[in-house]
Amino acid sequence: MLSKVIKKIRHKTPAYEESVEQNPTNSHNPRKQENVDIPSSTAMSSPDDSQTSELNYYTYDSNQQDASADINNSNNTIGIHNISVSPRHHHKHRSSKKSSLDLQKPLPATAGPPASVMVTCGFENGVQTVSQETLTTSMHFPHYEVLHKYQHFYQILAGLSPDKIVLQYYDSSVYKEDIDNLEVGEWLNDNNISFIYEYLNHTVMAEILRKSPNIIQLVKPSIAYLLLHTQDIEAMAVEMQPGLRNAQFLFLPINDNPDVSAVEGGTHWSLMVISIVDHKALYYDSMYNGLVTSAATQMRKQMSRLLRVDLDLISVITPQQVNGSDCGVIVVEITALLLNRLVNETGKINLECGPMPLAPHAGRTYILSRILQLSAKQAKEIKI
């Protein structure tokens, strides 16, 4: 399990840093959790204040050998599935269109570890370099500015009860408990993923959805779970996800809970992205790299029935988690990473996770920064 400590880093506002080392273990115990606070500060300052202040940020202790192996594996697997899919189109009739998703020949593995590795959190363009020699870096993703600006508001929310609604964002309600889930070592639940999918719908996809409302659909976890287990998938889709058959790309978070009677169940999140025009179901799994789980197989079967096509299930090389709690974060990071490509790129679109490994801790703080920013604005508007 990830060993975590809080390290106080002194900085000149707004240039503050986060020291990160790779994780020493590969334990997948999903229930083992350690109490680590969300970044906070007792010395408050505004973004324009030149006074020195203190912030608490996550610091990851690591064993250098294990961390090195993790980075090497991440690098060597890049390119094994070089996947390109058809670009999005605005026409409705796609049945006669030839598939343009290709599995190209794998790239040869590198002879040795690179001098450095670029990492991203998936949500934004900011990338960081991890030194292969020291396996540490001073990270400063763009969203840290927002996180710092609203840290005082986080202190206000920290005193609320877990069932208190802290943000109403379109069809998504965010509770104090959902903020607690963003702490390192905690699991993201379906509500966390639903919020970020709602956020991506109204930001990254806002313009394209105005022109073609159904072209890309981010299916919320609760609906994806029903689609996975229902006996009458056509009726369920019509009721719960209108326009699903008219989409060209579907993003489906998969929870491996087989017991539909369990309110809270499952031990793992993974992601399936379906390119309908290419008849491909791409499967991304941060724990079972290269393997296809029974849940993924069942989802392919269900969606093939619904879409009336025989979907080809492909397991895509995916950045691997180094603990038992980052699967949900990696699912939303991959969603954001691929979604930006689908929206902004033309021609064949690469749906690999590469070339940059993901930083789950930065994904957590990104989600937190969006919640704090939106919640503070909402509180101001209703004069809380």
Q: Check pLDDT > 70 for residue 255.
A: yes
> Closest Cα partner for 157 from 383, 379, 382, 381?
379
| 160-170 pLDDT, tens digit each | 999 999 999 99
Please state the rounded mean pLDDT for residues 17-35: 35
- What phi and psi, each to the nearest 5 degrees, are found at residue 143? -70, -10
DSSP letter, residue 109: P
Cβ–Cβ < 8 Å for 220, 193: yes
Size (the chain), residues: 384
Rounded CA separation 74/354 (Å):
9
Please state the rounded mean pLDDT for residues 79-97: 47
> Closest Cα partner for 203 from 340, 337, 359, 341?
340
Rounded CA separation 150/188 (Å):
22
> Closest Cα partner for 231 from 301, 181, 284?
301
Provide, rounded to the nearest whole percent, the portion of the chain with pLDDT above 70: 64
Residue given tokens 């964002």 in the structure block = 169
Residue 58: the pLDDT is: 28
- Rounded to the nearest integer, the mean pLDDT of the chain is 74
Beta-bridged to residue 127, according to DSSP, are 120
For 310, other C-beta atoms within 10 Å of its C-beta total 8
- What phi and psi, each to the nearest 5 degrees, are found at residue 33? -135, 150
Rounded CA separation 169/185 (Å):
26
Cβ–Cβ < 8 Å for 369, 121: no
- Sorting pLDDT into bands at 50, 70 and 90, what band is 84? low
Please confirm whether the linkage preceding 258 is cis (ω < 30° from 0).
no
Return the HEC string of 79-102.
Answer: CCCCEEECCCCCCCCCCCCCCCCE
- What phi and psi, each to the nearest 5 degrees, are found at residue 172? -110, 130
Cβ–Cβ < 8 Å for 128, 118: yes
Residue 88: the pLDDT is: 58
Domains of the chain are 4-104+112-381 (3.40.395.10)
For 51, other C-beta atoms within 10 Å of its C-beta total 10
The CA-to-CA distance between both ends of the chain, in Å, stands at 40
> Closest Cα partner for 74 from 115, 25, 113?
113
Question: What single-letter amino acid sits at 382?
Answer: I
Residue 85: the pLDDT is: 66
Residue 86: the pLDDT is: 67
Cα dist from 342 to 78, 124, 205, 274, whole Å = 20, 15, 10, 12
| 125-142 pLDDT, tens digit each | 766 766 655 444 567 889
Rounded CA separation 349/249 (Å):
12
Give the residue with greater pLDDT, 230 vs 125: 230
- Sorting pLDDT into bands at 50, 70 and 90, what band is 353? confident
Cβ–Cβ < 8 Å for 144, 370: no
Q: Check pLDDT > 90 for residue 17.
A: no
